[in-house]
Amino acid sequence: MYFSIKSRKSPPRKGRPANEVSEDDINAFLQVIRNFDGYPKLRDLCRMLPSLTPVRINVILHYLERSGAIVIDANGYITWIRNEDVGHLTLGEVANMSSDLKELLEKHRKREDDDLT
């Protein structure tokens, strides 16, 4: 006598995209960076945020960098982060720039405006 047991196939689950991040993920990321003592290194973020995959960390990094919320230097350190308060100044407004640099930036800005018109 043989018994056959048929396996029940469950309906296919919709997978969550690997690069999908939530606002809570972004807030947790920012909180970890704000609480870090010194300048966090990009390669250390996986240890600091074990709940996020490297793909999600990379997506959050690119989003924050493009939005101007963080600044990453050439060595891979997060050197600046925007404060949450609306009244705080941006990095460009806080930076100490020489008069030569200000003139150069003004010329560049005028040249871009001329190119657009």
Give the model confidence (pLDDT) of 61-106 as tens digits: 999 999 888 999 999 999 888 776 656 666 666 677 788 888 888 8
Condensed to tens digits (0 to 9), the pLDDT of residues 20-35 reads 888 999 999 999 998 8
- The pLDDT assigned to 16 comes to 77
pTM comes to 0.60
**Are 42 and 32 spatial neighbours (Cβ–Cβ below 8 Å)?**
no
Report if residue 57 sits inside a domain: yes
Amino acid at 107: K
Report if residue 8 sits inside a domain: no
Q: Is the confidence at residue 48, as pLDDT, over 60? A: yes
- The pLDDT assigned to 100 comes to 85
Report if residue 5 sits inside a domain: no
Q: How many domains does the chain have?
A: 1
- The pLDDT assigned to 15 comes to 76
Which strand (E) or helix (H) includes residue 42? none
**Per the structure block, which two tokens stand in for 15?**
């997978």
**Per the structure block, which two tokens stand in for 37?**
């003592």
Report if residue 68 sits inside a domain: yes
Report if residue 37 sits inside a domain: yes
The domain in which residue 58 lies consists of 18-83
Sign of CA dihedral 69, 73, 74, 77: negative
- Residue 16 carries which DSSP code? P
Residue 32's CATH number: 1.10.10.10
Q: Which ranges in the chain belong to alpha helices (H)?
A: 23-35, 45-48, 54-66, 91-94, 99-116
Report if residue 78 sits inside a domain: yes
- Residues 21 and 40: their CA atoms lie apart, in Å, by 21
Report if residue 3 sits inside a domain: no
